[in-house]
Amino acid sequence: MAYQLNEKLSRLQPYVPVAETAGIIHLDANESFLNLPETLRQKISEAVAQTSYHRYPDPYAVELCKAFAAYYHVKENHVTAGNGSDELISLLISNFLMKGETVVTTDPDFSMYTFYPALAETNCMEICKGNNFSISSEDLICKVQELHARMLLFSNPCNPTSLGLTKQQILQIVKNVDALVVIDEAYMDFWDLSQSVLGEEENYDNLIVLKTCSKIGVAAIRLGFAVSNEKLTGILHAVKSPYNVNTLTQKIGSLFLQAQDVLRSRTKAIQTSRDALQNGVEAVLQRHPGAFQLYRSCTNFVTLRLPRADALHTYLMAHGISVRLFPGFLRVTAGSETENAAFLSTLEAYLEEEN
């Protein structure tokens, strides 16, 4: 009787997902603050009612990938659907790297980029962002080449800094490294689709773009996409588990992505909320100069850097508002008007009490 967990499992630091708590304002998970409109919910109910529950899902989610391709103007045969982009990140790490090979990511960035490499027994090197959370394409290229990295993986625009690199900067990286470059564009919809590298996958043998439906309105169904050239898409199809996206998610995801007007207007509403939140926080900063540093967001959240981020986090929590705490900064998701107002007045109250 001497079973012991292996080293990687004994060392594992589990990801702690945020739990939905009744009565709390959740600005902590970058979800959309809007539920789907009634008309679309009705269509979904009808489609769900027709489900062949006794059959497996379509293994390649053809209808769904077609709807995705149409909305984002990419080729259908460049698309792989996943059970959230989390599944795709895990697939990329565990298949495009051999044991002991190196993936480069940036710090701070999405926590899953370091979580999966630890499980896959690959090396993960994090390149620290400089002051003002900046990072240059030159630095990234140098590090990737110097380390003989096999993959470079980061979010653009970045979660949690809210900042983005331009399309030109991203392509410069793709052209100048020998590694596979995975650009996670989870938040690109809230910035500027002309900065997206979607469509460029055709021109490079080392580019994969990740997308998710979680931030644009349907976090509940777990749906993400990888976009890559035909060859890489063939590999992704070959290594994924056969029925990775369930039938209900395929149906709901197809209807969601086909409702292009709804998607566009929801995206706009989230951008409007983000701008209002950003302006509100800026106004608070003007009344309390130097209280924190604020970044110009190209996402659906704003990032505030301050030395005692944990104290503010605790104060907000005590007032029923949950935001995401990082070492030395907070990430606040754009919410409804009421939610944003609650956050802003509580932030102001905290700064007044503190002084």
What is the binding site for ligand PLP (CB under 6 A)? 30, 84-86, 110, 155, 159, 184, 186, 212, 214-215, 224
Closest by Cα among 38, 68, 31 to 250? 68
Q: Which is nearer to ligand PLP, 223 or 342 (CB)?
A: 223
Q: Which is nearer to ligand PLP, 227 or 351 (CB)?
A: 227
Helix (H, G, I), strand (E, B) or coil at 231: helix
* Amino acid occupying residue 342: A
Task: State the Cα–Cα distance between residues 73 and 57, nearest whole angstrom.
Answer: 25
Tokens for 66, please give them: 């077609």
- Least distance CB 47 / ligand PLP (angstroms): 21
Task: State the Cα–Cα distance between residues 274 and 293, nearest whole angstrom.
Answer: 17
Q: Which is nearer to ligand PLP, 322 or 346 (CB)?
A: 322
Residue 180 to residues 105, 130, 207, 216: CA-CA distances in angstroms? Answer: 12, 24, 6, 27
Token look-up 């197809």 returns 254
Tokens for 2, please give them: 């001497």
Q: Which is nearer to ligand PLP, 84 or 108 (CB)?
A: 84
- Least distance CB 93 / ligand PLP (angstroms): 13
Task: Name residues whose C-beta falls within 8 Å of residue 176's C-beta, 6 or more positions apart in sequence.
Answer: 141, 145
Phi-psi region of 290 (alpha: psi -120 to 50; beta: other; left: phi over 0): left
- Least distance CB 155 / ligand PLP (angstroms): 4
Kindly state the helix (H) or strand (E) to which residue 159 belongs, with its residue range: none
Q: Which is nearer to ligand PLP, 185 or 339 (CB)?
A: 185
- Least distance CB 30 / ligand PLP (angstroms): 6
Q: Which is nearer to ligand PLP, 186 or 263 (CB)?
A: 186
Bond preceding residue 157 cis, omega within 30 of 0:
yes
- Least distance CB 167 / ligand PLP (angstroms): 17
Tell me the residue nearest to ligand PLP as measured from the CB.
Answer: 84
- Least distance CB 191 / ligand PLP (angstroms): 13
- Least distance CB 200 / ligand PLP (angstroms): 19
Q: Which is nearer to ligand PLP, 215 or 266 (CB)?
A: 215
Q: CA angle, corner 28, sides to 22 and 34, nearest 5?
A: 70
